[in-house]
């Protein structure tokens, strides 16, 4: 039996890594994918390992594993440095007969393990990408990021504010413009009037989070969200005079990259569910929404003016977000 070893941080795993691992599998009966981590890693090791396992879940001959990197000494020349690696790998894994890599460490590492070495795409001609480049600007290398990893990098944008300010319309329009997904106000699918219970509002809170997580899987770089859990809290307080504690816990589950606060300087339109159309009521509710962002010290971009002006503000901010990739 030939057992190959592929090592890396996989922070994140990308299509170049996947091709490397698949290449190794053509030269061995079993491939151990050894993912190293340190406590200082910017991406959660458990999440990285989960990605690898998901990608190769139907490949029993590819065995993902995790090992803490508390042994590497970058100050040493590669022959000495990889000697330590080899000692650790011997203790961690069964007999390794083959090292497959795209890096210069491959030869000395294999020699120290008494194994053969096969080099794969060392010049990055087939896959001109690296994990560090993806971390620096994921959108520039989007095509190289596996589907299971992409949700981690998707930017979540919240269209936030009181009723009848154009959030739903704009979320759908922006999703079409940027060829991505949007998350609707799920409450409208669950209630038909403003006569609801605490159980209803909790159900709405969970459903909103679940829908976000669902849409993240297929979003293209950016996800437009019509409302958030803070909004659910505000309406719970307004209609029920209480906020179930679980809504504050749900709020922690999603962090938005950008908030757009929609002003009330557009006509209020009745739709059978809205009931806060008086000028005073709209002003008061707008201030409540604004205060909740300020209290949390969350930055936001005001959205005001005509529909065309509103769209211009949003598009400009989104373009800057996509250009920066951060």
Alpha-carbon distances, residue 177 vs 18, 137, 309 (angstroms) = 32, 21, 16
Query: What CATH architecture applies to the domain 3-144?
Result: 3-Layer(aba) Sandwich (3.40)
**Same fold? 3-144, 154-324:** yes
Look at residues 180, 7, 171 and name the one whose alpha carbon lies nearest to residue 89: 7
Helix segments in 150-228, DSSP class H: 150-153, 167-177, 187-190, 198-216
Name the band, by pLDDT with cuts 50, 70 and 90, for residue 54: very high
In this structure, are residues 203 and 189 in contact, taking their beta carbons and an 8 Å threshold?
no
Has residue 273 got a pLDDT over 60? no
Query: How many Cβ atoms are within 10 Å of 15's Cβ, its own excluded?
Result: 16
Mean pLDDT for 148-162 is 97
In this structure, are residues 322 and 221 in contact, taking their beta carbons and an 8 Å threshold?
yes
- Mode of pairing for the β-strands spanning 30-37 and 3-8: parallel
Neighbouring residues of 170: CB distance < 8 A, sequence distance ≥ 6: 159, 224, 262, 303, 310, 311, 314
Name the CATH superfamily for 154-324.
P-loop containing nucleotide triphosphate hydrolases (3.40.50.300)
Has residue 268 got a pLDDT over 90? no
Report the share of the chain in percent with pLDDT over 70.
97
Supply the pLDDT for residue 208: 97
Mean pLDDT for 275-280 is 72
Look at residues 206, 217, 221, 204 and name the one whose alpha carbon lies nearest to residue 156: 221
Bridge partners (DSSP) of residue 159 are 226, 260
Quote the DSSP letter at residue 154: P
Q: pLDDT higher for 111 or 269?
A: 111
CA distance 205 to 242: 14
- Order the strands of the 30-37 sheet from edge to edge: 62-68, 30-37, 3-8, 98-101, 116-119
Supply the pLDDT for residue 190: 86
The H or E element that residue 302 is part of is strand 301-303
Supply the pLDDT for residue 274: 61
CA distance 161 to 301: 11
> Which tens digits make up the pLDDT trace of 83-97?
999 999 999 999 999
Look at residues 288, 286, 320 and name the one whose alpha carbon lies nearest to residue 303: 286
Name the band, by pLDDT with cuts 50, 70 and 90, for residue 305: very high
> Which tens digits make up the pLDDT trace of 3-44?
999 999 999 999 999 999 999 999 999 999 999 999 999 999
CA distance 73 to 85: 10
Alpha-carbon distances, residue 242 vs 153, 180, 204, 282 (angstroms) = 35, 35, 15, 20
In this structure, are residues 318 and 310 in contact, taking their beta carbons and an 8 Å threshold?
no
The overall average pLDDT reported for the chain is 94
**In the chain, domain spans:** 3-144, 154-324
Has residue 71 got a pLDDT over 90? yes
Look at residues 269, 177, 191 and name the one whose alpha carbon lies nearest to residue 232: 191
Name the band, by pLDDT with cuts 50, 70 and 90, for residue 76: very high
CA distance 270 to 322: 35
The span from the first CA to the last CA of the chain, in angstroms, equals 45
Name the band, by pLDDT with cuts 50, 70 and 90, for residue 277: low
In this structure, are residues 2 and 29 in contact, taking their beta carbons and an 8 Å threshold?
yes
Q: Is the preceding peptide bond at 12 cis, omega within 30 degrees of 0?
A: yes
> Which tens digits make up the pLDDT trace of 196-207?
899 999 999 999
Backbone dihedral angles phi then psi of residue 41, each to the nearest 5 degrees: -60, 140
């Amino acid at each position: 039996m030939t057992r190959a070893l592929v090592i890396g941080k996989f922070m994140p795993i990308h299509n170049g890594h996947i091709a490397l691992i698949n290449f190794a599998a053509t030269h061995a009966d079993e491939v151990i994918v050894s993912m190293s981590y340190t406590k200082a890693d910017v991406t959660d090791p458990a999440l990285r390992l989960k990605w690898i396992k998901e990608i190769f879940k139907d490949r029993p001959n590819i065995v993902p594993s995790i090992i803490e990197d508390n042994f590497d000494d970058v100050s040493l020349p590669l022959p000495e440095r990889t000697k330590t690696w080899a000692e650790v790998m011997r203790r961690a894994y069964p007999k390794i007969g083959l090292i497959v890599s795209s890096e210069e460490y491959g030869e000395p590492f294999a020699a120290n393990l008494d194994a053969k070495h096969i080099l794969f795409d060392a010049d990055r001609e087939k896959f001109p990408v690296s994990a560090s480049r993806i971390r620096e600007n994921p959108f520039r290398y989007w095509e190289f990021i596996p589907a299971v990893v992409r949700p981690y990098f998707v930017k979540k944008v919240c269209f936030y504010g009181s009723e009848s300010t154009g959030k739903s319309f704009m979320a759908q329009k922006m999703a079409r413009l940027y060829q991505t997904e949007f998350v609707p106000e799920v409450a409208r699918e669950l209630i038909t009037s403003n006569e609801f219970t605490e159980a209803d509002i909790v159900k709405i809170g969970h459903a909103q989070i679940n829908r976000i997580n669902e849409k993240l899987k297929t979003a293209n770089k950016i996800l437009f969200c019509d409302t958030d859990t803070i909004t659910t809290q505000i309406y719970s307080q307004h209609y029920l005079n209480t906020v179930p504690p679980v809504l504050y816990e749900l709020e922690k589950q999603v962090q938005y990259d950008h908030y757009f606060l929609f002003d009330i300087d557009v006509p209020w339109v009745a739709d059978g569910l809205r009931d806060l159309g008086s000028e005073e009521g709209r002003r008061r509710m707008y201030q409540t929404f604004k205060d909740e962002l300020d209290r949390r010290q969350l930055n936001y971009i005001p959205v005001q003016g005509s529909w065309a002006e509103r769209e211009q503000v949003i598009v400009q901010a989104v373009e800057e977000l996509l250009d920066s990739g951060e």
